[in-house]
Amino acid sequence: MVLISAIIAVTIVSCKNTAVEPQRQTTTAAAVTEKPTEKTKKQPNSVSVGTPMLTIGIGENADLQAHYDGSLPAEDAAYSSDRAGVVTIDEAAGRVTGKAEGGTVVTVKSPNNKTAHCFVTVKKAPTKVSFPVDKLNMLAGEQTTLTLIPAEGEGFSAVTLTSSDSGVVSVAANGLLTAGKAGTATVTGTTFNGQKATCAVTVLDNNGVTDRQTAVDADLLREPGWQFPSVQKVPAGSRVSQYGQSDDGRWIKVKYNDSTGWMYNKAFGEITNYSQFNTRTLPVMADDLLFDVTTDKRAIFDFVYQISYDTNGDNTVENLCVEYFKRQRGSCFHHAAMLCYLYNRCGYETYKVNGLSAYDGVSEHSWCISKTDEGWLHVDAQEFSIRTADEQYFIDDYSQFFNWDKEAFPPTGRVA
């Protein structure tokens, strides 16, 4: 009996082992392959877009580059526009397409209601484009960029740059030009709709470079024009090596302390006497003025602010500026035009605004809306009310003082 009981016990244990063990393995495999449900997905803490402001042409596609938490593609985000008919939105691709001229705020929202915004301006598709210069000299090994410029009222976002000889000058995907061996190559810029501009790039060696001495303190700029950033300051009396100049002769290509860039010709004491004041000579007069005033936003504001007030002139920015140069005085329209022209000449995106007094609805006034690091803000170089106790000269909103076409200009306000 003892022997039979022992045999039965062993048999029962063996049956339990063979029945339970496979069950445990099956359960483990199911746990590994189980897919997370929607409830288990991590919700983003933030949403971002590639740029808070975007300009495209009618018919152009642009990727908003929406991401969660800085790097994760916002694949399940919802998109919306606050103005119908300006753009169409492809939510699956995170892309907008320009449909009609105007501006709209496109909002990207995550399932847990985190949002990001992009102000999209749609302009006419380009019919003509150009580079700031038709010819460009570079030294072997030097790097620079070329910016394609649309005609007035037209716009685009994406540009493709190509080189006819990559051995002379190569072009990176981000538009950076790198000079190689000595020679000449043509760089071509092409917009989304096939509009093109060319620039002849000549790469020079160090032979035949002319030494010059600056007459006054000056800036070494990345490209010819005040809209480009300064590479470094060049003190008066510095020796520089000149190896090129712009077509109009006003900008000199130099090398200083192993840095290459452009200097305004006035830095060498070569001041041209312009006897005629008109819209053709206005850029030259403005550049001479900026050389003395500097390109600092506050310095330009202070210069325009001191213009004597006088009611006269029309509403054309260029003509108002010419009128100022002739008469050294002007109305609020002159102040706004000068500020707008000089700010844009320096690369600060600015618009001249005309409006009516919020008090009587009749009195006309003109001021500017300018893009700053803090956002789109109002700046008025004629009104005393713009200057507060802390000398702040940009303000968030002018609605308490004036009425204007708010749909025609970017929404103002400081960025948090």
Spatial neighbors of 204 by CB under 8 A, at least 6 apart, are 137, 138, 139, 140, 182, 243, 244
pLDDT of residue 13: 39
Dist CA 301 CA 379 (whole Å): 9
Query: Using only C-alpha atoms, what is the Rg of the chain?
Result: 31
pLDDT of residue 163: 96
Dist CA 363 CA 276 (whole Å): 34
Dist CA 272 CA 208 (whole Å): 26
Which one, of 64, 111, 102, lies nearest residue 83 by Cα?
102
pLDDT of residue 228: 85
pLDDT of residue 311: 60
Judging by DSSP bridges, how do beta strands 183-191 and 196-204 pair with one another?
A: antiparallel
Cα-to-chain-centroid distance, residue 354 = 25
Q: What count of Cα atoms within 13 Å lies in the side-chain half-sphere of residue 91?
A: 10
Between the alpha carbon of residue 173 and those of residues 62, 94, 176, 219, 300, the distances in Å are: 16, 21, 7, 29, 36
Which one, of 362, 400, 361, lies nearest residue 378 by Cα?
400
pLDDT of residue 210: 79
Return the C-alpha torsion angle 263, 265, 266, 269, nearest 10. 120
Domains and CATH numbers, the chain: 47-123 (2.60.40.1080), 129-268 (2.60.40.1080), 282-414 (3.10.620)
pLDDT of residue 305: 82
pLDDT of residue 1: 41
Beginning with the edge strand found earlier in the chain, give each strand of the sheet holding 67-68 in spatial order: 47-48, 67-68, 72-73
Q: What count of Cα atoms within 13 Å lies in the side-chain half-sphere of residue 166?
A: 6
List phi, psi (to 5°) of 182.
Answer: -65, 140
On the 0-12 / 13-18 / 19+ scale of CB atoms within 10 A, 31 is exposed
Which one, of 291, 298, 205, lies nearest residue 255 by Cα?
205
Q: What are the mean pLDDT values of the chain's consecutive 10-residue runs (416 residues total)?
A: 39 40 40 47 87 92 92 90 92 92 92 92 93 82 83 90 95 86 93 94 75 88 86 91 80 88 85 58 82 86 78 67 75 87 90 87 87 86 53 76 87 80
Q: Cβ of 182: how many Cβ atoms within 10 Å?
A: 13
